[in-house]
Every structure is written in C-alpha cells, then in structure tokens.
Structure 1
Amino acid sequence: MSQFIESICCEDGEALLLDLHQARLNRTFFTNYGLLARPMKLAKIIRKVPSKEKHKCKVVYDKDNFTIDFQSYQTPTIETLQIVEGGNIDYRFKYENRRALDQLYTLRADQDNIIIVKDGSVTDSYFANLAFYDGEEWWTPDSPLLEGVRRQSLLDQGLIQKTTISLDDLGKFEKVSLINAMLDLGVVEIDIKNINR
C-alpha cells in the first residue's frame, strides 16, 4: 500500500497552513481508504514545533500509521529551468514514492530544476507549483500535477489566478515563482529567459 506525505512549514514555533494540509490529508484518506476511514488530526499529532529557524515537518502516513520528522530548512537556489515532457505521470496525491518525478528530474541536463508539461500544458516543477508573472498579475496553471497548499492559500487570497498555460504562452510572462508549503510567492523567482526548451 502506498504511503503519503505532508510537508508542513514551521516558523516561530507554529505549523503554517495547517487547515489546508488537513483538508488535503482528508481527501487523500477518503479517496484511498474509503469514506469510513478515520484520518489523523495534524493539530493533535504535531505537538511540539521547533521555535527557532524555519523547519520542514514531514509527516509520512498510511491508513494505520504515521511518522513525523523535523528538518531545518534552507531556501534552494534555483536560477534555470528545463522543460520536460511528463507523459502519463500521475501525482494527484502527495505520494512518498516520487520515482516518476525523480526520473523526470534527471532530464534537466545542466539546469537547476524542471517544468513538467503534460498534454501540452504547463503543470508543476519537480517539487513546487508554479506562478507566472505577466507584469501585472500572477497566474498559476489550472492543471497542476498536485494541488499544493500554498497555491490554494494564494488563490483563496486572490493573489494568483488560474489559467491554462501552454509552452507558447511562456513568452507572455516576465518571470516564474516556485511555490510550495515552504516557499511563498516571490521567494524563488526565475527569469522567463532562463527556461530552456
């Protein structure tokens, strides 16, 4: 049976976006284990959060078990991206097994990270959702591989909007930001000219 993960940003002794992580965990549980399954409550199992520095809290779980691990977090340096074709990759749920993503990541050549294209549309990077800036507004692909919690938070706040983005559309944008639970909008930005096709 597959195991799943939630990677939760912890800062100043607080676990962030916990309601959105819980909602995704619940969807994962009910879809994979049935409507009678009883998902764990993240607020109860994450009792003590490190109070200093930024940490990633990694919760690995299945229907009956879970583990928690805290790791100090450093923002990655990413300046270039490689377009790769995702084929039939399916990452609707945040699986612990990332083998299919790992294989795509090896295709990045000498670039820092990847942009995965599926059925002609831009989806995600190796470990983050994407938001593209057109000089006025931020846009995120409407068909991500995984619906991330940071992406959802930014959508809820009206800071980004959803749209279909094809490879031909990339020239309409100035830059792209990688967003995930650990990376807020604008923390890691790449000039659109640094996307290699």
Structure 2
Amino acid sequence: MLCIETIRVENRQLKNLGYHEARLNKTRQELWGYTDQWNLAELLEIPGFVSDEKHKCRLAYSKEIDNIKWELHTLRTVKSIRRVYRDTVDYSYKYDKREELNTLFEQREESDEILIIKNGWVTDAYYYNVAFGDGKDWFTPTTYLLPGTQRAFLLDQGIIQEREISETDIFSYNTVKLFNALVTWENAPEIDTQLID
C-alpha cells in the first residue's frame, strides 16, 4: 500500500512544502509506525525539463519513496456538481489507490464533479476540498474526508473557517469553491449552489 503527496510546482518552486511534509510524516507514523522525519526540500530535486509553468510533483511512498513523477498541470473545468452518497466512505489518508472514490465519481452522470455526502454530512468533492460562501464568509466542512494541505493553509490564513455542514445546509449558501494543493484559492472553481444536482 502506497500513499501519495501531490505538490504544486510554480516557477520551478515547490509550494506549501511544509504542509505536505507535515502530512507525509504524520501518515508514515500513523500507518506504519515510522518515526523518522523526512525533509522534502532535501529529498526533492526539480528536474531540468520542468519549466516555469505550473507542474505537479507526485510523490508515492511508504517506508521509502516508491516513485516521483513530474507533469504539467492543467486546470479542470468544473461547472456542475452532483451529490453522491456513501456512509462508509473513508479517505483519511491520501492513498495511491482510490477505488471507493472512483466508484462514487462514476455516479456523476452528466456532471463534472461530485459532492460526497456521508451520514447526511457534506465531506469533499472527488478531487477537491470544498468551502461554502454566504456572500461574506467561507466555511469548510468539519466532516471532510481528506485533510488537504491547501485546506490547512487556508484555515491558517483565516480565509476559510470550519463548520458542520449538513446536506440540508447546502442551499443556505450562495456558492461553493473547490480547491486542492494544485488549485489555489484564487484559481478555484466557484459554482452557484443552485447548480448542485
């Protein structure tokens, strides 16, 4: 079993590295009992072919690094979201294999993205953490599936706040934003909640 970190690379710089490092070291300790602390700045050397454009560094690991991939990143277009339901879904660690999430994503039908509802509570989208806006403030569910690095950064910056958000609360907000390590808050797709199917 492998876990992964997907790190944004812009202008040949690794972004939010401290957040990725903290999650990776926590994962290695909790899943496998490893107490050594990795320093990603020392372990990751950006290859010469990586340009100033936005790239994704995908690091797969367990006890040791299994593989590292570098690829150009393009922003997905998300204009519609479908609610899907699974009360047993678990993605508390960023596993390389995502069979359960893949199964849920296949239920999106004509929509671009899914919003996963677990026991009546809003969690995450397939590729993203989410935040709901009321025109003044932004709130991200306490019932998330994956503790995203961008989510942690936005909470630390005070840009978003945590709140319990049930399925019935969704339409009390105006919009929802979808963000992750590769999609910054400024570039995050923002969708009217009325367009959530």
2:2 is the counterpart of 1:3: yes
Q: Distance in 1 between matches of 2:52 and 2:11?
A: 6
Q: Distance in 1 between matches of 2:129 and 2:61?
A: 22
Identity between Structure 1 and Structure 2 (%): 37
Unaligned stretches of 5+ residues in structure 1: none
Unaligned stretches of 5+ residues in structure 2: none
Aligned-partner SS, 1:8:
strand
Q: Distance in 2 between matches of 1:157 and 1:115?
A: 25
Cα 1:182–1:65, aligned 2, differ >3 Å: closer, same or farther? closer
Q: Which residue of 1 aligns with 2:109?
A: 109
TM-score normalised to the size of structure 2? 0.95
Structure 1 moving runs of 4+ over 2 Å:
36-41
Aligned-residue CA RMSD (Å): 1.2
Counterparts of residues 46-61 of structure 1 (less than 5 Å): 46-48=44-46, 50-61=50-61
User: Deviation per CA, 1:2-54, whole angstroms, max 9, x where unpaired?
Assistant: 100000000011000000000000110000111x4435321112112524200
Q: Which residue of 2 aligns with 1:146?
A: 146
Q: 1:40 aligns with which of 38, 41, 64?
A: 38
Q: Which residue of 1 aligns with 2:164?
A: 164
Q: Distance in 2 between matches of 1:82 and 1:186?
A: 23
Aligned length, in residue pairs: 194
Q: Which residue of 2 aligns with 1:185?
A: 185
Higher strand fraction: Structure 1 or Structure 2? 1
TM-score normalised to the size of structure 1? 0.95
User: Deviation per CA, 1:80-137, whole angstroms, max 9, x where unpaired?
Assistant: 0000012201100000000010000011111111000111100000011001111000
Aligned-partner SS, 1:107:
helix
How far apart are residue 186 of structure 1 and its match? 4.5
Q: Which residue of 1 aligns with 2:86?
A: 86
- Report if the CA contact (8 A) 1:29-1:39 is conserved: no
